[in-house]
Structure 1
Amino acid sequence: MDILFQQIFNALTIGSVYSLVALGLTLVYGILHIPNFAHGALYMVGGYITLLFMESMGIHYWLAIFISIIIVGLLGVVMERLVFHPLRNAPPIHDKIAAIGVLLFLEALVQLVWGAEYRRMLSPYDIVVDFLGLTVTAQR
């Protein structure tokens, strides 16, 4: 029975993350009417920027995340102005092709800058809590 509750908790945790990503995608599609295929790549860039600030500059976890949010937000504005805004009167397929192009560009850029090997970001929340038979990390 403990395993069932553990899996339900894990499903709710991961499902919450997926719902936040889906909410962002829906928001972009609802406003711009463009399925932004580069949405996940922007999250990836944000993660690598956070990693960069934490490892290279020794900035605290939360401050690095805040800086990353600002940088990725600015990247999104630049992407909208340079890629999607000029295509506002073009046929709808052009928006989709541009979004795929941005996705491929961001993936190649991250691979060029940080490489293709596995990277791990250290969390300040490494405490594991046992609560009513559930094993929960402090970060979750």
Structure 2
Amino acid sequence: YGLVALGLTLVYGILHVPNFSHGALYMVGAYVSYITMVDFGVNYWVAMLLAAVAVALLAVLCERLVFNPLRHAPPIHDKIAAIGIMLFLEALVQMQWGAEFRRMPTPYTDILDIAGMTIPAQRVLIIAGAFSLMAVLHLFLKKTMTGSTIVA
């Protein structure tokens, strides 16, 4: 949830568009990783990387084909376009893969006992990954010329 909020904040800070389709992009990423692992038998980490690349390409496509042409339009047009992308992606995924609940397989099924707390290894991985990505983003924004440009 922290990474989703961070992504929303970053997109709003750069484009000044509340991207209502942000969650739908995450959903597409989840389906890409699920389908790659389950249907094609790809390794967990390779599937995650493919999902990240697929969502990045889809986001760039949305920015170039939808949001960029609306840059000088009234602000309501960006909001309507973001809602339209969200509805389109949800309908596309439901048409392609249905609306049934699916559970993504994980190679991390261990249960850990940390300071008296019982926690699945998958959650520890998620928490560590989220904090790591937040730290890398912070360093990128503070220490690189591109990051300084984004902040400005």
The normalised TM-score by structure 1 is 0.86
Q: Which amino acid aligns with 2:24?
A: A
Tell me the alpha carbon deviations over residues 40-74 of structure 1, each in whole angstroms, 9 at most, x when there is no partner.
11000000000010011100111000011011100
Alignment partner of 1:96 is 2:93: no
Corresponding position of 1:9: none
Corresponding position of 1:52: 35
Corresponding position of 1:29: 12
Q: Which amino acid aligns with 1:138?
A: A
* Structure 2: distance between partners of 1:103 and 1:28: 15
Tell me the alpha carbon deviations over residues 11-45 of structure 1, each in whole angstroms, 9 at most, x when there is no partner.
xxxxxxx2211110000000001000000110000
* Structure 2: distance between partners of 1:107 and 1:135: 35
Q: For this pair of structures, how many residues does the alignment match?
A: 123
* Structure 1: distance between partners of 2:2 and 2:120: 20
Corresponding position of 1:72: 55
Corresponding position of 1:108: 91
Percent sequence identity is 64
Aligned pair partner of 2:114 in 123, 131, 135: 131
Measured after TM superposition, the shift of residue 129 of structure 1 is 1.4
Structure 2 unmatched runs, 5+:
124-152
- The secondary structure found in structure 2 opposite 1:99 is helix
Measured after TM superposition, the shift of residue 133 of structure 1 is 2.0
Corresponding position of 2:25: 42
Large movers: runs of 4+ above 6 Å: none
* Structure 2: distance between partners of 1:32 and 1:132: 43
* Structure 2: distance between partners of 1:131 and 1:41: 34
Aligned pair partner of 2:104 in 102, 121, 137: 121
Tell me the alpha carbon deviations over residues 92-111 of structure 1, each in whole angstroms, 9 at most, x when there is no partner.
00000000000000110110
- The secondary structure found in structure 1 opposite 2:80 is helix
- The secondary structure found in structure 1 opposite 2:105 is coil
Q: Which amino acid aligns with 2:98?
A: G
Measured after TM superposition, the shift of residue 131 of structure 1 is 2.8
